[in-house]
Chain A
Amino acid sequence: QKEVEQDPGPLSVPEGAIVSLNCTYSNSAFQYFMWYRQYSRKGPELLMYTYSSGNKEDGRFTAQVDKSSKYISLFIRDSQPSDSATYLCAMETGANNLFFGTGTRLTVIP
């Protein structure tokens, strides 16, 4: 079983839709949870960084962590064509050992 599972998609939504991206994990020691956005042929860009369970909001982005279910989500409100990218979840225990999901490819259609 992989440490982090993420549906690779692809996911296509119309502009303005709410996007829900999810990851599940198996290691209960993970404490730090991240979402990265990666445009084609570019390095990943950190979108959200959360510690432990709870919600975090930043503009149109909301990250949720449910440690009891080992499930994390990223919501994108009012999605825009510029949001089209691959979204990677990542997590670590705190010992500099980052584990990535496979990434979900999102396309927002104008």
Chain B
Amino acid sequence: GAVVSQHPSRVICKSGTSVKIECRSLDFQATTMFWYRQFPKQSLMLMATSNEGSKATYEQGVEKDKFLINHASLTLSTLTVTSAHPEDSSFYICSGPGPGGGYTFGSGTRLTVV
């Protein structure tokens, strides 16, 4: 089946630094990837939609200068959290439309900003 590989699975960084999260579609091409954020015991919240070869579309309330999204190829999308602060600590998950319908999710990245 369709697989999305997400790295790193866990990262701890200091406040003020930047963190890059990568998502790769391993066996299918994804012109679109979705980035979600999930706080403990809450559902997934869509942050932005990345589009291969064009600018990402951000949801209302999501700072595009803080959460930089790049979709450089049909198999790679990245999310960079710039100047991270403790309130950015969360679980970040990407997903891509699977070739058979539905969406395939990465395994998630737990970001802790100290």
Q: List residues of A whose CB falls within 8 A of some B CB.
A: 8, 32, 34, 36, 41-46, 49, 51, 88, 90, 96, 98, 100-103, 105
Given contacts A43-B6, A43-B107, A96-B49, 16 further A-B contacts (CB under 8 A): A41-B108, A42-B108, A43-B93, A44-B105, A45-B105, A46-B104, A49-B102, A51-B101, A88-B43, A88-B44, A96-B34, A98-B34, A98-B46, A98-B103, A100-B43, A105-B41
Q: List residues of B whose CB falls within 8 A of some A CB.
A: 4, 6, 32, 34, 41-44, 46, 49, 91, 93, 95, 97-98, 100-108, 110
Main SS at interface, chain B = strand
Partner of B93, one of A32, A44, A51: A44
Residue of A nearest to B91 (CB): A41
Residue of A nearest to B100 (CB): A49
Give CA–CA (A90, B97) in the complex, Å: 13
- B-side contacts of A36, CB under 8 Å: 105
A65 to chain B, nearest CB (A): 14
Partner of B110, one of A41, A90, A103: A41
Q: Say yes or no: A96 contacts B105, CB within 8 Å.
A: no
A-B contact pairs, 21 of them (CB 8 A): A32-B101, A34-B103, A41-B91, A41-B108, A43-B6, A43-B93, A43-B107, A44-B95, A44-B105, A46-B102, A46-B104, A49-B101, A51-B101, A88-B43, A90-B103, A96-B32, A96-B97, A98-B34, A98-B46, A98-B103, A102-B42
